[in-house]
Structure 1
């Protein structure tokens, strides 16, 4: 299913009348399709993003808008024929992890810095959230290419020990405790769930290294 979902229809091509070199046409074709796979459905966004390429080729804005609108409509017909976006392995795994208090977010924020800061605000009062996993927008772009992504991860310390107990530790002790909490959570609880859903996990147990997940998909409808 994933191969069919990501593949562009044979009829999807940048118009030859735009006069682009073959290499430039291919780059524009693939870049635009990548946006469509992520669910972008506003032709104006494509025109704005590829403004320089279109201007260099002398393509009028109206023509570009019409083409990208037709490409989006082509994608909609294709996804209807495929039965709509299925639920991915990773989405199912994240749903199961939520039941044990591990928060999972897909295509979350623009980068790792923002993700690590904003993930704390994603918690609700439905349960005690003990840890988290997420991949950000830049990570999401690689999934259709090689069906893998790196994920950020960590623990919500207030679920594991009282604040006064944490503050009583020196910096070295805090680092050791946090590493032990995160490693135990990932290896003993998170990884078995991911692997049970057919996801391959690669990690060297270094908290400075993100976890690599393979055999994952991102299915988004336009």
Structure 2
């Protein structure tokens, strides 16, 4: 898989795609643009592909926060795919097969310093770091959270530009921290278990909705056709895991029978144990499954 996230014009995101999937996205009819970012999304680094029907592909690349921006035009989707794949892999000379020209995007404006009353900046940064620790946020979403956290109906003390600057700084801080992590982490084991469950016919969703009420109401629409049951945890469960309290999983059968719920519960526990996670559950379908102990270190994707 390529360590990139590809966002379509309609907002749909594809994370860690194969070269074949990348080719499908580039050549897909109806897509006018694709935004491609590396994982874990360093600020100021991206590739954008755009095309109108019957016209060549336009490929833009931005290399760093200094604003170095280049553009190339080609009729070949395969040249576009090869360039992006080489860029994703950081291959030497990946850009050589396209004719790049500098693109003037104008001066980069300075962001005014963030001036907040005593204690507010500390609370804001603590909140942003907590969201980062959950690991499910993109850098753009993180900036939105930073902008809105202190906002009220009468006061918005953090501008969009200040929020992006703060989010980028703390994002890079977290990226440097996770660079020291070795091997597979518990959240990655969890993702592996959820992938196996989906392949076995159980809808499995991470960080799904804000609470169990919303989760149970929406999980049916999120399921794959023919799924027998479901398992998920919501964002408050993620927060609890970040705080060191383990992770609560909700599960059940789409036929609403206790027998199916029990069977799904046993499959979930078996999948967790197969990847080395310990689950606490007494077999009663009225009770949630809890993963504990759990070291929550989820690598950012962007």
Measured in 2, the distance between the counterparts of 1:99 and 1:45 equals 34
Structure 1 stretches of 5 or more lacking a match? Answer: 1-14, 158-174
The counterpart of 1:150, out of the listed 248, 269, 291, is 248
Check conservation: 1:149, 1:216, Cα contact below 8 A. Answer: no
**C-alpha displacement of 1:136:** 1.1
The residue correspondences of 1:124-163 to structure 2 (distance < 5 A) are: 124-125=224-225, 128-146=226-244, 148-157=246-255
Change beyond 3 A, Cα 1:219–1:143? farther
Give the strand-richer structure, 1 or 2: 2
Change beyond 3 A, Cα 1:182–1:64? closer
Give the helix-richer structure, 1 or 2: 1
Change beyond 3 A, Cα 1:114–1:16? closer
Measured in 1, the distance between the counterparts of 2:220 and 2:258 equals 18
Asked if 1:115 corresponds to 2:211, the answer is: no
The residue correspondences of 1:66-105 to structure 2 (distance < 5 A) are: 66-79=165-178, 88-105=188-205
The counterpart of 1:46, out of the listed 122, 128, 146, is 146
Partner SS, residue 250 of structure 2: strand
Measured in 2, the distance between the counterparts of 1:81 and 1:185 equals 36
| Higher relative contact order, structure no. (Cα contacts within 8 Å, ≥ 6 residues apart) | 1
Change beyond 3 A, Cα 1:74–1:111? same
* 2:38 aligned residue: none
Q: How many residue pairs are counted as aligned between the two chains?
A: 180
The counterpart of 1:181, out of the listed 238, 255, 260, is 260
TM-score by length of 1: 0.65
* 2:21 aligned residue: none
Change beyond 3 A, Cα 1:30–1:75? same
**C-alpha displacement of 1:26:** 4.7
* 1:163 aligned residue: none
Check conservation: 2:207, 2:238, Cα contact below 8 A. Answer: yes
Check conservation: 1:134, 1:153, Cα contact below 8 A. Answer: yes
Change beyond 3 A, Cα 1:19–1:110? closer
Structure 2 stretches of 5 or more lacking a match? Answer: 1-112
The counterpart of 2:269, out of the listed 186, 191, 214, is 191
Asked if 1:34 corresponds to 2:130, the answer is: yes
Q: What is the root-mean-square deviation in Å for CA atoms of aligned residues?
A: 3.4
* 1:219 aligned residue: 299
Q: Deviations over 1:109-159 (max 9, x none)?
A: 22212211222123334xx422211001221222222162111100122xx
